[in-house]
Amino acid sequence: MPEREQKKRTAPQREADDVAEVTDAPQASERGEEIKADIDDLLDEIDEVLETNAEDFVRSYVQKGGQ
């Protein structure tokens, strides 16, 4: 968590629905490249511990509904 100035703020309000404002997040691939560089060691580890038969494991993962 970066240190940031903690300031009190009030929530802005909008008069109209502005879903239209929603734009795509920064280029996904660019972000992915940055993360890849950031967590290189972790990705090594994921490749090591990831179930080898991933496809089967996910397909056979069926639960009974609960609460």
> Binding marks (x or -) toward other proteins, 12..51, rule CB under 8 A?
xxxxxxxx-xxxxx--xx-xxx-xx-xx--xx-xx--xxx
Rounded CA-CA distance 61/67 in Å is: 18
Yes or no: say if 43 and 36 are a contact pair by the CB < 8 Å rule.
yes
Smallest gap, in angstroms, from Cβ of residue 65 to other proteins?
5
Rounded CA-CA distance 44/31 in Å is: 19
Residues of this chain that bind other proteins (CB under 8 A): 1-2, 4, 6, 8-19, 21-25, 28-29, 31-33, 35-36, 38-39, 42-43, 45-46, 49-51, 54-55, 57-67
